[in-house]
Amino acid sequence: MTAAAAGLETPADLVAAARTVLDRPDALPGSAWARSTALLARQALEAAIAGFWEREVPEAVTGSFTTQLLCLRSYVPTEVATAAFEAWAALSTACHHHAYDLAPTATELHNWLDTVADVVDDLS
């Protein structure tokens, strides 16, 4: 099911959903709640960046996401672009489960989610 099919149509909706999952660690077994939170937060960030490019430079949406993140520095303050890149990298790592990795902690997830919410606001 896509985020839009689940009724999550905006980056802010995805951030709210991630906060809901984060605040209910007992809702999903094991570390699934942490990875679910990370995935929703990363989707919110990606949707916000895609929306930014659609408004500012529609052709940029066809580039790889890494390229879009790198080009962001030319269009927004450096702090916003850096926060977006660092959050995306951390969330991407958190989304991929490896047997030797620990799931992200609630504190890490709260920090990343706060950063994503700030970037979503800055890009809208």
Residue range 105-122, pLDDT digits in tens: 889 999 999 999 999 999
Q: Please count the structural domains in the chain.
A: 1
Residue 98 lies in a domain: yes
Residue 103 φ/ψ region, left for φ over 0, alpha for ψ in the -120 to 50 degree band, beta for the rest: beta
Q: Given pLDDT bands bounded at 50, 70 and 90, which one contains residue 4? A: low
Residue 1 lies in a domain: no
Residue 73 lies in a domain: yes
Residue range 34-90, pLDDT digits in tens: 888 899 999 999 999 999 999 999 988 888 888 999 999 999 999 999 999 999 999
d(CA 24, CA 27): 6
Task: State which residues form the domain around 90.
Answer: 11-123
Residue 30 lies in a domain: yes
Residue 3 lies in a domain: no
**Cα dihedral 11/16/22/27 (nearest 10):** -110
Residue type at 9 in one-letter notation: E
Residue 61 lies in a domain: yes
